[in-house]
Amino acid sequence: MIEVRIPTLLQQMYGAPPAIAVDAATPLAAIAALDQRWSGMGDRILEPNGALRPYLLLFVDGDYATLSTPLHAGAQMRIVPSIAGGEHGSDIAVDRSGHMDGYRVSFAKTMQA
Amino acid sequence: MQAMVMVGTRKGAFLLLSDDRRSWETRGILLPGWEIMHMAYDGRDGTLYAAGFSWPLGAAVARSKDLGETWEYSSKGLAYEDGDKVTKVWHVEPGRRPGHLYAGVEQAGLFESNDGGVTFSEVTGLRQVPTRSLWQPGNGGLCLHSICVDPDNAQRMWVAISAAGTYRTDDGGETWKPLNKGVQGDFLPEGQEVGHCVHKLLYHPGQKLLFQQNHQGVYRSVDLGETWERLDGNGLPSSFGFPAAIHSRDPQTYYVVPLKADMTRVTDGGMAVWRTRDGGQSWHALREGLPAPAHLVSLREGMGVDGANPLGIYVGTTTGQVFASANEGESWSIAADFLPNILSVSATTLP
C-alpha cells in the first residue's frame, strides 16, 4: 500500500480526505484507484490524452515523479497543483528539476492569478 | 415565485435568491477554486449546470440537482480527436429535452450531452466547415460562447464564435452555414464572410428573431440570420459592448450595456443599461438607481433576464456588483456587491 496525499481542491470537490491508502505500483495506477473511488477525479488529474495536467506535479517521497515512477510499499505520493500568481500568458513553464523539500517547489514562471 | 440569479465569477459561483426581487439572499461561494464562465438552470428537471475551468484541473461542466448544495463534475468526452485542447467551457445551454445539454468551448467547438452532463460528444460538423481556417481568437480566446436552439425546428440551431461569427445548422449539426452578411468588421478584409467578433448572440423563438452585440455594432436579424440590420446608429452612445438581452415576451425590446469604445471599454460616465422598445429604432438609457460616475465593465455573459412579469433584469460587473431591476429596467438596486470578478449572470424563476 502507498499513501496518496490529495490536494485541497480535489478534497473539496469530491468530499475526499487529505490522504488515502491505495494499492498501486505507479502514480498512474494510484490515480486510477482514486478515480475508481471518486468517479471523475482521474479526469481532473490527467488530460484526455492520458498525460498529467500541465499545472500539476507529482512527488514520491519528496522527489519529482512521473506517472510511471515505481512505487514501493509505504511510499508517499503527493499531487501538487501549481502555485498561482505572476506572469500571464506567454511561456508558462515549471521547473521540474528541484527536489521537493517539505513543500518548497520552485517554478521558472508561474501562472495567472 | 422565487427569483434565482446565477452568478459565475473567477473564484467560484453564487446564487442570489429572492421572493420579492428586492431583498436577496446570497449563497456561495459555490464551486470554489473554479472560474465559472456561465450557468444555466433547466427547469424541466431541476438541474443547475455550470460551465467552467480550473487552471490546474482543466475544463469541466458541473451539475447540481439540489440548487448548488452538492455538485458533480464531468469532462468525459470533452476532447477533440485531432489533439486540439478544450481549455475552457464557456457556455452551457439546456437542449431539446431534459438531460440534453449543449456546451460551447475553447478552442472553439460544440459538444452535446444526452445524459444530463455525465458524458459529452463533439458535434463534429461545426469544426469541419471550410471556413474554419478563418477563425481567429479574440482577446478572450477562440471560444464558442453563444448557443441558440430553435425549439420549433429540431434540426436548427445557431452558435456564435469569437472571432468567427454566427453559424447555423438546419440539419441537426451535420453542416453549418456562416451568417454574417451586413455585419461590420473593420479589422477584416472587405467582404470576408467569416472572422466576425460576435460578443453575444440571442434568439427569441416567438418572433424568430436573432439579436447580437458585436465588437462593432448591435444587430438583429428577422430572417434566421441570413441578413443583419444594424441598430446602434439610433441613439446608442457606443457600438461596443459585451452583454445583450431580449425581453422574454416583447421581441421589440432589447437591452445592451454600451462601453466607451474602442480602447477604454468601460461605461462612459455612469453605469447605464440601454433599452429599445421599438426594435432598435430608438434607444434610451436606464440609469435610475445605477451609480454615477462609474467606470464599470460587464462581460459577454454579464446580463440575464428572469422571464417573470414584469421582467427582471440582472447585470454583473467585473468589479463584483450585481445590479437588479424588477420592473423591466425602469429602476435598479444592488442585489449583491463585493463579489469576485463576475464572468456571467443568468436568471430564472423557481416555483
Q: What is the pLDDT of residues A15-24, one digit of tens each?
A: 999 999 999 9
Question: Do B57 and A10 lie within an 8 Å CB cutoff?
Answer: yes
Q: Is the pLDDT of residue B292 over 60?
A: yes
Q: For residue B59, list chain A residues with Cβ-Cβ distance below 8 A.
A: none
Q: Is the pLDDT of residue A108 over 70?
A: no
pLDDT at B222: 96
The residue among B11, B36, B57 with the most chain A CBs within 10 A of its CB, best to mutate, is: B57
Q: Is residue B351 very low, low, confident or very high in pLDDT (cuts 50, 70, 90)?
A: confident
From A9, A40, A82, residue closest to B33, measured CB to CB: A9
B86 vs chain A: nearest CA distance in angstroms? 9
pLDDT at A85: 53
Question: Do A12 and B57 lie within an 8 Å CB cutoff?
Answer: no
Apex CA B58: angle with CA B55 and CA B64, to 5°?
110
Classify strands B2-9 and B12-18 as parallel, antiparallel or unpaired.
antiparallel
B105 vs chain A: nearest CA distance in angstroms? 15
**Surface-to-core class of residue B218, CB atoms within 10 Å of its CB (0-12 exposed, 13-18 middle, 19+ buried):** buried
Q: Cα–Cα distances in Å, from B9 out to A83, B5, B316, B319? A: 20, 13, 10, 10
**Segment among A104-108, B85-89, B269-273 with least mean pLDDT:** A104-108
Assess contact for B238 and B215: CB atoms under 8 A.
no
pLDDT digits (tens, 9 = 90+) for A39-92: 999 999 999 999 999 999 999 999 999 999 999 999 999 999 986 554 444 444
Question: Do A40 and B54 lie within an 8 Å CB cutoff?
Answer: no
Q: Is the pLDDT of residue B217 over 60?
A: yes
Question: Do A84 and B55 lie within an 8 Å CB cutoff?
Answer: yes
Question: Do A40 and B32 lie within an 8 Å CB cutoff?
Answer: no
pLDDT digits (tens, 9 = 90+) for B123-140: 999 999 999 999 999 888
pLDDT at B261: 80
Identify which of B102, B90, B49 has the alpha carbon closest to the alpha carbon of residue B242.
Answer: B90
pLDDT digits (tens, 9 = 90+) for B159-215: 999 999 999 999 999 999 999 999 988 888 888 889 999 999 999 998 899 999 999
Reported ipTM: the value is 0.90
**Surface-to-core class of residue B147, CB atoms within 10 Å of its CB (0-12 exposed, 13-18 middle, 19+ buried):** buried
Q: Does A78 touch chain B if contact means CB atoms closer than 8 Å? A: no
B123 vs chain A: nearest CA distance in angstroms? 17
pLDDT at B188: 86
Question: Do A43 and B79 lie within an 8 Å CB cutoff?
Answer: no
B167 vs chain A: nearest CA distance in angstroms? 27
pLDDT at B269: 85
Minimum Cα–Cα distance from A81: chain B residue? B56
Query: How many contacts does A have with B, using Cβ atoms within 8 A?
Result: 51
Q: Does A40 touch chain B if contact means CB atoms closer than 8 Å? A: yes
- Tell me which residues of chain B have a C-beta less than 8 Å from any C-beta of chain A: 32-33, 54-58, 60, 71-76, 78-79, 83, 85-86
Q: For residue A53, list chain B residues with Cβ-Cβ distance below 8 A.
A: 56-58
**End-to-end alpha carbon distance in chain A:** 36
Assess contact for B302 and B345: CB atoms under 8 A.
yes
